[in-house]
C-alpha cells in the first residue's frame, strides 16, 4: 500500500444540479493540479434541496446524474480516484437514495454506498429534519479496495454510529470516510470531536469533505472539511465554511502503526450486560 495525496473538496451546493456539477469539476481539477491522487466531495454534491417536491422534480437516476457522469469522466481524464461523497439518486419506487460513488483512476466504478442512518432530529433552535420522509435508508456497510487500500464508506449522520466504523475497521479498512453536510449548530458542537474520535478508536485515517455556508434552500452548514490521521491529529482542514480544497499525504501504513501501539481492535471482548431492576435481573450478550 503506497502513500498518496488526498484532497477534500468543500462546496456550497445549491439547487441547480448543472451549476453544482460545474463547481465540482472546477474544484476536482484544482485538486488534481495540486497533486491529489484521491479527491472526495461532500454529501449532496449534486444539490442541497430541502423541499421534497422540488428535490423529486430535479433528481435523476444514476445514469442521468450530472455529478456521477462528471466524476467518471474526470477520473479517467485526470488519472485520479474520485469519491463523490454523495448525491441524490432517484429510485424506481419514487424514493431517493443518498448515494456515494467511488471511481478508480480509470473511471471504473469501484463501489456505491447508500447512507444507512437517517437524520431525523429536532434541534433546540427550531430546526427539524426528517430525512426518512424522502430518502430510502441503505442496508449494507461497504469496504472497498482502492489501489490496494481498503476504504470504508459512510455519509454524514453515520458519523454518530461508531459500530459502523468499527465493523469497517475490523474488516481491514485503513481509511474511513464521512463526507457530510453537518448543520452549523451540530458541527460547531461535535464535528471535530466525532471525526477525531472515529479515527482514534479505529486506528484509521478519516477523510471528511463537507458542505459549508448558507445555501439556497436556507440551511447553514458548518464546513471545516478535515483529514485526520490514525493517531487523531488533524492533518489538513479547510478552516471555515468557504468553498475550496485541503490536501494531506495519506500513508496507509500509519494505520497499522497506530493499531500496533493501541491494539484495541484485537483486545475487544464480548461481554454480558446485567440489567438490574426492582423486579429482578435480566441479562443479554453484547458483542464488542
Q: Which of 43, 95, 127, 249 is catalytic?
A: 43
Is position 43 annotated as part of the catalytic site? yes
DSSP 191-205: HHHHHHHHHHHHTSE
DSSP 11: B
- For residues 7 and 31, the answer to whether their CB atoms sit within 8 Å is yes
Helix segments in the chain, DSSP class H: 17-33, 52-58, 66-78, 162-170, 184-202, 253-261, 264-267
Q: Which of 77, 156, 188, 249 is catalytic?
A: 156
- For residues 232 and 195, the answer to whether their CB atoms sit within 8 Å is no
Question: Taking the CA of residue 153 as centre, how many other CA atoms within 13 Å lie in the half-sphere pointing to its CB?
Answer: 31
Q: Which of 115, 188, 216, 237 is catalytic?
A: 115
Strands (E), the chain: 4-10, 38-40, 81-90, 96-103, 109-114, 120-122, 128-130, 142-146, 149-153, 175-177, 205-208, 212-214, 220-222, 226-228, 234-237, 244-250, 271-277, 280-286
- For residues 159 and 134, the answer to whether their CB atoms sit within 8 Å is no
157 three-class SS: helix
Active-site amino acid positions: 43, 115, 156
Amino acid at each position: 500500500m503506497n502513500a498518496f495525496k488526498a484532497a477534500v473538496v468543500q462546496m456550497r451546493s445549491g439547487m441547480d444540479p448543472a451549476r453544482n456539477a460545474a463547481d465540482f469539476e472546477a474544484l476536482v481539477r484544482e485538486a488534481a493540479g495540486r497533486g491529489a491522487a484521491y479527491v472526495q466531495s461532500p454529501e449532496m454534491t449534486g444539490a442541497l434541496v430541502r423541499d421534497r417536491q422540488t428535490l423529486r422534480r430535479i433528481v435523476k437516476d444514476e445514469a442521468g446524474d450530472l455529478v456521477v457522469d462528471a466524476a467518471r469522466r474526470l477520473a479517467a481524464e485526470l488519472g485520479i480516484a474520485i469519491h463523490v461523497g454523495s448525491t441524490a439518486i432517484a429510485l424506481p419506487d419514487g424514493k431517493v437514495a443518498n448515494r456515494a460513488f467511488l471511481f478508480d483512476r480509470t473511471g471504473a466504478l469501484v463501489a456505491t454506498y447508500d447512507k444507512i442512518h437517517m437524520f431525523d432530529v429536532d434541534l433546540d433552535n427550531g430546526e427539524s429534519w426528517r430525512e426518512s420522509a424522502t430518502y430510502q435508508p441503505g442496508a449494507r456497510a461497504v469496504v472497498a479496495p482502492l489501489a490496494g487500500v481498503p476504504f470504508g464508506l459512510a455519509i454524514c449522520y453515520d458519523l454518530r454510529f461508531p459500530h459502523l466504523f468499527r465493523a469497517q475497521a475490523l474488516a481491514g479498512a485503513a481509511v474511513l470516510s464521512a463526507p457530510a453536510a453537518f448543520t452549523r449548530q451540530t458541527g460547531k458542537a461535535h464535528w471535530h470531536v466525532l471525526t477525531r474520535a472515529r479515527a482514534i478508536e479505529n486506528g484509521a485515517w478519516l477523510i471528511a469533505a463537507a458542505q459549508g455556508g448558507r445555501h439556497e434552500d436556507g440551511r447553514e452548514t458548518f464546513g471545516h472539511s478535515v483529514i485526520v490521521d490514525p493517531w487523531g491529529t488533524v492533518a489538513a482542514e479547510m478552516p471555515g465554511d468557504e468553498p475550496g480544497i485541503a490536501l494531506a499525504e495519506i500513508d496507509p501504513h500509519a494505520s497499522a502503526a497506530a493499531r500496533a501501539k493501541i491494539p484495541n481492535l484485537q483486545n475487544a471482548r464480548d461481554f454480558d450486560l446485567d440489567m438490574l431492576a426492582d423486579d429482578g435481573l435480566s441479562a443479554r450478550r453484547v458483542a464488542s
